[in-house]
Amino acid sequence: MHDSTEAPTTLEAVAPTRAPDVLLSLSRLSKTFHPRRHAALPVLRGVDLEVRRGEAIAVIGPSGSGKSTALRCINLLERPDSGSIRLDGKPVFEASDTGPAVGPSVRALRDLRRRVGMVFQGFHLFPTMSVLANVTMPQVRSLGRGRADAERRSLELLEKVGLADKANARPQTLSGGQQQRVAIARALALDPEVMLFDEPTSAIDPELRIEVLRVMRGLAEAGMTMIVVTHELQFARQVADRIVFFDAGTVLECGPPEQVLDRPRHERVRHFLTAVS
C-alpha cells in the first residue's frame, strides 16, 4: 500500500485492474431459454452494465425484455450462456462461445448469494416462522452468527424498516407492504454489498407502496449499491443515479434520469414512457 502522503507515480498504481469504484459489471451477458416444444428464446443478447459502488440504478423497460432474467443472472439464480459477471473486480461467472462455462463452486455460490441481496416481487417469506425468525435464520445459517447477536441485528433492522412491533407476528398477518419490508430487512441482515430489487412494489396495494419506497430511498441515501427493476418512474427519477432502459434483451439506453426520462435518444424509450405514464 502507498503511504497516504506519497503521490502515486502512475495511474496503474492506483487502478491496477479496474476503475476502483466499479462494484459490479456485466459484460456481453447472453441467455437463451429453450422451452419445450417452443422455439429457442433469446432473452439476454449481450447486456453490458457497470454499477459503481454506492450507485442506485433503476431498470425500466417493456415486459418480457429480460429485466428479471438479468437480475437473476447476477446472483446466478439463472446461469448465463456467455459473457461475464464481476463483483468487486473478481469474476463471479465467465463463459465464452469457445470454451465450457466456468461455474462457481457451491461455496462460492453461497458466498455470492450472501454478498448480493435480492428482493422479489412476491415476498417469499417463510410462512411458518415469525417475522423475527425470518430475519434471524439466514444470519445464523449463512454467516454463522450466534442467535443472540443475530436477533439483536434483526430487531435493529426491523426498527429501521418500521416493523419492530411486528417481530413476533406471522408473515400472513401482515400487509403486502409490511411483508416486503420484512423481506428487505432479511436481505440486509446478511450485510450485502449490493441489493437487487425486482419490481418490489408491483404486488402491493398502491397506498402501501410508499412505505416500501421510503425504505428503499433511505437505503440509497445511505449509500447502498442497488439495482431496482421498477415501473415507479417517479421513484426512479428521484432516487436513481442512472436509469437503464432494457429492450429485447439489451441495454438500449442508460443515463441520468433527466436524460433517459426527459430527453430519450430512442423512439422506443419515448414510446414506452408515453404508454406507462
Q: Nearest approach, Cβ of 17 to ligand ADP (angstroms)?
A: 31
Spatial contact of 199 and 230, defined as CB atoms under 8 Å apart:
yes
Q: Under a CB-based contact definition with an 8 Å cutoff, are residues 87 and 113 in contact? A: no
Pick 93 or 150: Cβ nearer ligand ADP: 93
Pick between residue 16 and residue 64 the one whose CB is nearest to Mg ion: 64
Minimum Å distance from CB 120 to Mg ion?
A: 10
CB of 63 to Mg ion, least distance (A): 7
C-beta closer to ligand ADP: residue 185 or 272: 272
**Residues in binding contact with Mg ion, number by CB under 5 A:** 2
> Whose Cβ is closer to Mg ion: residue 68's or residue 154's?
68
Interacting residues with Mg ion between 43 and 72 (CB under 5 A): 67-68
- Sequence-separated contacts (24+) of 175-180 with Cβ below 8 Å: 175/204, 175/205, 175/208, 176/123, 176/203, 176/204, 176/205, 176/208, 177/204, 177/205, 177/208, 177/209, 177/211, 177/212, 178/208, 178/211, 179/123, 179/125, 180/119, 180/123, 180/204, 180/212
Half-sphere exposure of residue 270: CA atoms within 13 angstroms, side-chain side: 5
**Residue 41 near which of Mg ion, ligand ADP, none (CB within 5-8 Å, type-dependent):** ligand ADP
Considering only residues 111 to 170 of the shown chain, the ones binding Mg ion according to CB under 5 A are none
Q: Helix, strand, coil proportions of the chain in percent (round to 5)?
A: 40, 25, 35
- Least Cβ distance, residue 199 to Mg ion (angstroms): 6
Q: Is the Cβ of residue 68 or residue 230 nearer to ligand ADP in the bound state?
A: 68
Q: How far is the CB of 43 from ligand ADP (least distance, A)?
A: 4
Question: Which residues make up the interface to ligand ADP (CB under 6 A)?
Answer: 33, 35, 41, 43, 63-69
Q: From the list Mg ion, ligand ADP, none, which binds 64 (C-beta under 5 to 8 Å, kind-based)?
A: ligand ADP
Q: Name the minimum Å distance from CB 68 to ligand ADP.
A: 3
Cβ proximity to ligand ADP, 60 vs 187, nearer residue: 60
**Residue 136, phi then psi, degrees to nearest 5:** -80, -45
CA distance readout (Å), 194 to 25, 223, 225: 12, 10, 5
Q: How far apart are CA 204 and CA 183, in angstroms?
A: 13
Q: Which residues bind Mg ion (CB under 5 A)?
A: 67-68
